[in-house]
């Protein structure tokens, strides 16, 4: 039962983060939310993102890191939670590696 609840929470957080970034980004790069890592206690969330083009990764990661507090406010209005978790961002290097493997195998 708890696994299903955590999965629903992860999906709701992923959707809210993607919606927020779509509204707030300056459109100089495409920032895509690929996954959410939720801590076992549910008090911390790491939002994994990919950025296109690759040369804008550093700027995009700085942007999303600055917007963490605003994202928490956005989530508190969208999702009914007792406590909104602390949010951090990271690049999804696993997704980048998967794309490279797909390119090499084609």
Mean pLDDT for the stretch of residues 75-95: 90
Mean pLDDT for the stretch of residues 27-45: 91
Maximum separation of any 2 CA atoms in the chain, in Å:
47
- Which domains, from first to last, does the chain contain? 2-105 (3.30.300.20)
Residue 36 confidence (pLDDT) above 90: yes
Instruction: Name the pLDDT band for 104 (thresholds 50, 70, 90).
Output: confident
What is the DSSP code (8-state) at residue 69? H
Residue 56 near residue 28 (C-beta atoms within 8 A) = yes
106 contacts: CB under 8 Å, gap ≥ 6 = none
Task: Please give the pLDDT value at position 1.
Answer: 45
What is the DSSP code (8-state) at residue 11? H
Phi-psi region of 24 (alpha: psi -120 to 50; beta: other; left: phi over 0): alpha
Distance in angstroms (rounded) separating the CA atoms of residues 2 and 71: 25
Task: Please give the pLDDT value at position 73.
Answer: 95
Task: Please give the pLDDT value at position 2.
Answer: 66
Which pair of structure tokens corresponds to residue 61?
A: 């990661």
Residue 80 confidence (pLDDT) above 80: yes
DSSP per position, 37-48: EE-TTSSEEEEE
**Which one has a higher pLDDT value, 73 or 25?**
73
């Amino acid at each position: 039962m708890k696994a299903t609840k955590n999965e629903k929470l992860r999906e709701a957080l992923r959707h809210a983060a993607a919606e927020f970034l779509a509204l707030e980004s300056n459109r100089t790069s495409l920032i895509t939310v690929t996954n959410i890592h939720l801590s076992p206690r549910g008090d911390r969330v790491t939002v994994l993102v990919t950025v296109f083009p690759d040369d804008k990764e550093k700027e995009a990661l700085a942007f999303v890191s600055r917007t963490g507090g605003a994202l928490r406010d956005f989530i508190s209005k969208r999702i009914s939670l007792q406590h909104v978790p602390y949010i951090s961002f990271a690049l999804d290097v696993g997704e980048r590696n998967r794309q490279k493997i797909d390119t090499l195998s084609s």
